[in-house]
Amino acid sequence: MTETSHVALQCITAPNVPPPAGHYSHAVKTDNWVFVSGVLPVTVTPEADFAAQTEAALRQCQQILAAAGCGWPQVAQCTAYIVGITHWPVFNQLYAHYLQHHKPARAVVRVPALHHGYLIEIQLTAVVTSPQSPPLAERHRES
């Protein structure tokens, strides 16, 4: 006999972020997890320089996280896709500015091209604790 659990998925749409261009949500929230879709810097043109594109993508990520009820301190994983590894230092500097002392797991992946000619796309996974849930450290001790 297989036990099936039903997990509620909440599709998140950030009000101040342009709607997704395809059949997907800005993010999906389930239990204590928030999965943010790949974020292109669509609030600027593909002709904008890499720094402007990165700032735009990070701002959009921040707004999506807020719409899901969390922020940068709850980010557990970041994957950044960048066209041209030479952009890594600029990405790293701006990313550090937004995340401050928080250092989640991260991968920066060089890709040959991104949709619409953009130079960066950012995908995130965050962990949020509901008010009725004990902190993660307590839950770990209880197991």
Is there a contact between 64 and 39 (Cβ–Cβ < 8 Å)?
Answer: yes
Going by pLDDT thresholds of 50, 70 and 90, the confidence category of residue 4 is low
The per-residue pLDDT for range 92-117, each reduced to its tens digit, is 999 999 999 999 999 999 999 999 99
The per-residue pLDDT for range 41-89, each reduced to its tens digit, is 999 999 999 999 999 999 999 999 999 999 999 999 999 999 999 999 9
Which pLDDT does position 7 carry in this prediction? 75
Domains of the chain: 30-122 (3.30.1330.40)
Residues near 73 by Cβ (< 8 Å), separated by ≥ 6?
102
pTM, two decimal places: 0.86
Query: What is the rounded distance in angstroms from the CA atom of residue 27 to the CA atom of residue 30?
Result: 10
Residues near 64 by Cβ (< 8 Å), separated by ≥ 6?
12, 14, 17, 26, 27, 36, 39
**How many CB atoms lie under 10 A from the CB of residue 128?**
16
